[in-house]
Amino acid sequence: AATINRYAQLHDLLREERYFTPEHRERTDAVLTNGRHPYHDEGFFTVAHFAQPDQVTAEFTDARLDVEGQYGVEGVAWLMGGVEDWLDDPARRETVLAACRHIESEPSLLGASGHLLTAGRRPSE
């Protein structure tokens, strides 16, 4: 399952310096509380649920699926200024991706990634 991380909007708005706007900060803080991102006329984002990493694994368990791994899709690299340019350079791209692989499933860092990929399977009988 691919999910949006509960903290993705906060990280994104901080990176883009939009969290300093009171209306953006208020909406973002509300998402942090309950994960619900409602519709806004201003085109702020779409209706969505922003999940805590452990919520997703709990849903897998509730669905009687064995969690095989949980991975940060972007890792922390998406928060770095200039990462788009790094990814355009083949040597730098490989270095960034190698660094991300070191921490892609580190539980203490899952909240830093914008999106999570949780893999699981039905238990064999």
pLDDT tens, 75-125? 888 888 888 899 999 999 999 999 999 999 999 999 999 999 999 999 987
CA distance 54 to 90: 35
Predicted TM-score (pTM) of the model is 0.84
- The pLDDT score that the predictor gives to residue 75 is 87
Domain 2-121 is found in CATH 3.40.50.300: no
CA 84 to chain centre: 17
Assess whether pLDDT exceeds 80 at residue 41: no
Give residue limits of the domains in the chain: 2-121
| Percent share of the chain, pLDDT over 90 | 77
pLDDT tens-digit readout, 101-111: 999 999 999 99
Contact 16, 73 (CB under 8 A): no
